[in-house]
Structure 1
């Protein structure tokens, strides 16, 4: 039986992925901190087993992942959080909080998961299109996702000869409890069902990079190729006025 481990499974994209993979007949290990949400996932399908874990606590992650059995053939590292800087004011505690989840939490997961890796295993890491160019107020979030992108791309060079397949996932705006808190325009937003579909199809095809929604992420990738002074004007027009 196919077995997938999904971090950040208690809400948003991770929640939808867990349900969709279970409906496809996969065995799902759903990881997260919210015990009630994990219980609801287990009630949704007997294919889902929960693993309560705070991904910002290294030893807790290592101990929890050591009990995962049988060895998964797919890992989706999806857990993350987002906080925005206030009008460009540097807030180091905020930046530390974001990095502790988005970047350091990922490193704890990868470290804990690597004993389970074998030739043919597939690893999907959810980054963000925000890592590809500068966006207003996104200094903490975008920087953390840029660090994720570099780490994964570097690891891929070392893992490829070992037969470990790696996919880096670049979502645009997806309607989740996280984006519900945003107070600015979010163009071309898609649903979690659409996001899950894009991720599952991309992983099934073995894509090394998965961008969605295609129109929005393609536009930002083109803008990222332009000189910085042109990028700024185009991004301001695309994103609208920030409150």
Structure 2
């Protein structure tokens, strides 16, 4: 049996759950992080290689307290996140903004403080951002800002962790069918399943890719559009928002 270890946040549902099962089936010892004890207990029943790690990522003290017995890690995947939209920019909802930024970005800092020191030399750090960070999208002031910040964080960490021999991979998924995207009230082109997303991510991590973008035709299109003058994209996005 493979003795390698991986810690995955957001493992009680969506992409995180699919990744936990994928790595467990590969023989990894998987520490599955999440807030929902019941869902994690159900996940453990699916594969004996999975161990639950119940933690609230936005509570720094509780997170560190829950991490006391963790071993050294081969891979640390910080995947947990949330999405809420600003539906009325004039009456800006600062509480919503703070909530999303805290969940998607600030809590990652807490996780790094608690767990990055556990990653072995030669190990890997993986952060899940979003293809939304390639373009400013309608109503995505909070979500897009959090993911753009996360992408910047990952790239700077990839520089500063070179001497520690820790590789950093940055994930930019397109639309993936999860409980989060189920709430969306707009078309989601090229949407894929969580199992497909997990396959892309595992393959990218195995190859130690700096960026893992999928599905490729969708993310390439997003990157291509981002090269346009902003004035052109602004007109297109404004029409989308009507």
Provide TM-score, normalisation by structure 2: 0.95
Counterpart of 2:157 in structure 1 is 155
CA distance in 2, matches of 1:152, 1:193: 24
Are the aligned partners of 1:66 and 1:112 in contact in 2 as well (CA < 8 Å)?
no
Q: Which shows bigger deviation, 72-81 or 116-125?
A: 116-125
Unpaired runs of 5+ in structure 2?
A: none
Aligned length: 239
Query: For each residue in 1:140-181, what CA deviation from the matched residue of structure 2 results, as whole angstroms up to 9, or x when unmatched?
Result: 000001111111211221101210110000001100000000
Cα pair distance change 1:6/1:207, threshold 3 Å = same
Distance 1:213 1:87 in 2: 31
Which of 175, 179, 182 is the aligned partner of 2:181?
179
RMSD: 1.4
Are the counterparts in 2 of residues 184 and 242 from structure 1 also a CA contact under 8 Å?
Answer: no
Q: 1:235 to 1:172 in 2, by over 3 A?
A: farther
Quote how far apart the aligned CAs of 1:115 are: 2.2
CA distance in 2 between counterparts of 1:135 and 1:21 reads 33
Q: Is residue 85 of structure 2 the alignment partner of residue 84 of structure 1?
A: yes
* Aligned partners of 2:76 and 2:116 also within 8 Å: no
Q: 1:66 offset after TM fit, Å? A: 2.6
For residues 38-53 of structure 1, the aligned pairs below 5 Å read 38-53=40-55
Contact 2:75 2:119 in 1 (8 A): no
Secondary structure of the corresponding residue to residue 25 of structure 1:
coil
User: What residue number does 2:57 align with?
Assistant: 55
Shift of 1:242: 5.0
TM-score for both structures, normalised by structure 1? 0.95
The question of whether the paired residues in 2 share the 8 Å contact of 1:41 and 1:48 is answered with yes
Q: Which runs of 4+ in 1 moved over 6 A?
A: none
